[in-house]
Amino acid sequence: MKKITLILLACCCCLQLLSQPLKTKNVIIVTLDGLRWQEIFRGADSALINSTYTDDKAGAQKHFWATSANARRDMLFPFLWSTVVQNGQIYGNRDLGSKDEVANKSYLSYPGYNELLTGYPDPGIKSNNPLANPNVNLLEYINQQAGFAGKVAVFASWERFPDILNVKRSGLLVNAGFMDLNLPKNNDRIKYLNDLQHKAPHYLGDSTRLDFLTFEFAKEYLEQYQPKVLYLAFDETDEMAHGGFYKFYLDRAHQEDEYIQQLWEYVQSSPVYKDKTTLLITCDHGRGDGALANWRNHGFFIAPHSEQTWFAVMGPDTPASGEMKAGVTTHHDQLAQTISKLLGLDFKAAAGHDVGAPINGVTIMPWLGAAR
């Protein structure tokens, strides 16, 4: 009798849990272009930090070297490996059997961002060429839903994002490259940032601004204009890797972890966002492995294993499972529908193209869809 009572009690608890509405009302997405899972989970790479790709070896070792992989990753990503791992989930540690990948076959940026934001690894999108994306994306869908109109904003370092998000069709607010931010009423800080970005050096060429400018625009917009969905796309990690500058690659990754911490600290200090906001952090592709030089590159033909990626998620509806271990392989075409479901929406039903199934474990609502 006691056993039956306990089982009934457990069932009641489960039903109660299942019937609870989702708490996520806002979403912040951050991408770090081409940042490898190897650094996320192992910290600085011993071969690269001692190679010709690191010119300031003493400096790199001082900031990022320890004998254990766990100590190294703590040094490189202190926010990810404290607040996020304690309160959320991190997918893609292949050393533990957790596999995360892009589903597209290009392993380049535009195909990766298209997959992430549309849920559809379109085989027709194979390059980074300017192309008005024919696929409806999650952000424009959200922007069309009741209560979300005008509450979605994108800040990106790379100028390609207006194409990736097809702003002509979607009408989304996308501030990218060296574009000025022109709001109906620019505050003084936005006016200052518009001016500042043109005075900052163009170290990454004319198509990509430095990530600190993207961050400052996004943070100001978040605090003053309070969007429900904010997407920040950083770029410098990929640029430093292509250039073969391993210490700078580590430096930029480390600073972006700090930017994300600043955003989260603001979120948790604001009554508008506190305990109502889910944070997703991920990338657009991995990088090659095997031969040492492969780290600089990515792409199906030139860099084996650059489909291997990672993501982290934290919010009021996500169980604090920490670092994920062996299980089903997750794909980035699943993240759009996962976010959509967290907001109580069904992007997949409205997209007009294939969309990956949501990832079960990200939410406590197991009926929302099967993992794949």
Residue ranges that bind Zn ion, judged by CB under 5 A: 34, 238
Cβ proximity to Zn ion: between 194 and 306 the closer is: 306
- Shortest approach of Zn ion to residue 287 CB, angstroms? 8
Cβ proximity to Zn ion: between 270 and 294 the closer is: 294
CA-based nearest residue to 109, from 139, 130, 93, 89? 130
At 283, is the secondary structure helix, strand, or coil?
Answer: coil
The CA distance from 75 to 71, in Å, is: 6
CA dihedral (321, 325, 329, 334) in degrees, to 10, reads: 20
Cβ proximity to Zn ion: between 238 and 257 the closer is: 238
The CA distance from 327 to 175, in Å, is: 38
- Shortest approach of Zn ion to residue 272 CB, angstroms? 35
Cβ proximity to Zn ion: between 142 and 240 the closer is: 240
Q: Which residues of 340-352 are buried (b: 16+ CB within 10 A; e: fewer)?
A: bbbbebbbbeebe
Cβ proximity to Zn ion: between 100 and 235 the closer is: 235
Secondary structure E strands in the chain: 26-32, 89-91, 100-101, 152-156, 173-176, 229-234, 277-282, 308-309, 311-314, 322-323, 330-331
At 352, is the secondary structure helix, strand, or coil?
Answer: coil
- Shortest approach of Zn ion to residue 242 CB, angstroms? 6
- Shortest approach of Zn ion to residue 158 CB, angstroms? 10
The CA distance from 296 to 240, in Å, is: 9
Secondary structure E strands in 283-331: 308-309, 311-314, 322-323, 330-331
> What count of other Cβ atoms lies within 10 Å of the Cβ of residue 51?
15
Task: Identify the bridge partners of residue 308 per DSSP, sorted by sequence position.
Answer: 101
The distance between the two most distant Cα atoms of the chain, rounded to a whole number of Å, is: 76
- Shortest approach of Zn ion to residue 298 CB, angstroms? 6
Cβ proximity to Zn ion: between 171 and 243 the closer is: 243
The CA distance from 295 to 242, in Å, is: 8
Cβ proximity to Zn ion: between 34 and 162 the closer is: 34
Please state, in angstroms and as integers, the Cα–Cα distance from residue 198 to each residue in 130, 157, 191, 192, 288, following that order: 23, 13, 12, 10, 34
Count Cβ atoms within 10 A of the Cβ of residue 288 and give its class: 0-12 exposed, 13-18 middle, 19 or more buried: buried
- Shortest approach of Zn ion to residue 241 CB, angstroms? 7
- Shortest approach of Zn ion to residue 33 CB, angstroms? 7
- Shortest approach of Zn ion to residue 149 CB, angstroms? 34
Cβ proximity to Zn ion: between 80 and 108 the closer is: 108
Cβ proximity to Zn ion: between 219 and 287 the closer is: 287
Tokens 């640029």 found at = 239
- Shortest approach of Zn ion to residue 177 CB, angstroms? 16
